[in-house]
Structure 1
Amino acid sequence: MECAFCTSGIDHCHGTLVVHPDGGFAECTGESCTNLDRVRHALIIDCHTLDAACTCTLAVEVEAELRQAS
C-alpha cells in the first residue's frame, strides 16, 4: 500500500500533530518533522489524549473550574 500524498508529491507528514491548548503550541510525533503546519498532518490530537498530566491541560482545567465557580 502506498501513501496517496507521497505518490502525488504533496508536502505532508506521516506523524501525529499533538496540540497543546496553552497558546497553540504543537509538536509532532514524526522524528524528522520540522513544519508543524496543521495542513501537513492528517492526524491531529489534543495533548490530554496522550498524557492526562500534561501541565498545559491542567492549567486549562483549573481555568475552566474557576470560570464555573464565578
Structure 2
Amino acid sequence: MECAFCTSGIDHCHGTLVVHPDRGFAECTDPSCLDLDRVRHGLIIDCHTLDAGCACTGAEKSLLRQAS
C-alpha cells in the first residue's frame, strides 16, 4: 500500500505529533521530522493521553524528538 500524500507529492509527516499544551511545545514520533507544523501531521494527540505518561510531567522518559 502506498501513501496517497507521498504519491501526490504533498508535504507531510508519517509520525504522530504529540502536543504539550501546558508547556507550549510539540514533538514528533518520527525522528526524521523537521517541521512540527500541525498541518503536516495526520495524527495529533495531547501528551496527557499517552499510556506511558509524559516526560513533561516527569512521569516517564519520552522517546520522542523534542522541538527546539
TM range (shorter): 0.7 to 0.9
Ranges in structure 1 where 5+ consecutive residues have no aligned partner: 57-70
Summarize deviations over 1:9-59 as a string: whole Å, max 9, x none: 000000000000124310000010010000000000000111267418xxx
C-alpha change, 1:53 and 1:9, in structure 2 (3 Å) is closer
Looking at secondary structure, tell me which structure has more strand per residue: 2
The TM-score with structure 1 as length reference comes to 0.71
Stretches of 4+ moved more than 4 A in 1? none
Q: 2-side partners of 1:10 and 1:28: how far apart?
A: 18
Ranges in structure 2 where 5+ consecutive residues have no aligned partner: 59-68
Looking at secondary structure, tell me which structure has more helix per residue: 1
Considering only aligned residues, what root-mean-square deviation do their CA atoms show, in Å?
1.8
Larger radius of gyration: 1
Give the count of matched residue pairs. Answer: 56
The TM-score with structure 2 as length reference comes to 0.73
